[in-house]
Amino acid sequence: MKLIIINGPNLNLLGKREPEVYGSTTFEDYFVQLQQKFPQVELEYFQSNIEGELIGKIQEVGFAHDGIVLNAASYTHTSVGIGDAVKAVNTPVVEVHISNTHKREDFRHVSYISSGAKGVILGFGLQSYDLAIQSFLG
């Protein structure tokens, strides 16, 4: 099984950015833990702060991978383009958020990705990614 985790803007700052919301672990460190926990899965990771690069990566892998775990971060609430890319590809997408976006500002209650996603997991910290990977395993 081949899965890719795609992270959006500011998630490269995990471990430093708002640790009370996002924790103190870097995503790179957590990614190593995921690879160890799921040795049967070929896991890839991509992060960008640029909307077009995220769309390009979704299009690039969206017909060849078995699944995409997508945390589009703030673009979730603003990017029709990312939402359209999710709907345009064959690969199922699980939308992930570290925080419970419904407990945050009102604008974070809207997702342009959810309507095209296989499912949505939010509010479980970094474990949200773990749960998303498990959803592809059956």
Non-local (6+) Cβ contacts of 67 within 8 A are 1, 3, 4, 91, 92, 93, 94, 118, 136
Considering 65, 75, 97, 129, which one is annotated as catalytic? 97
Selection from 64, 63, 27 nearest residue 45 by Cα: 27
CA distances from 129 to 17, 84, 97, 105 (A): 18, 22, 8, 22
Active site residue 22: yes
Catalytic positions, please?
22, 97
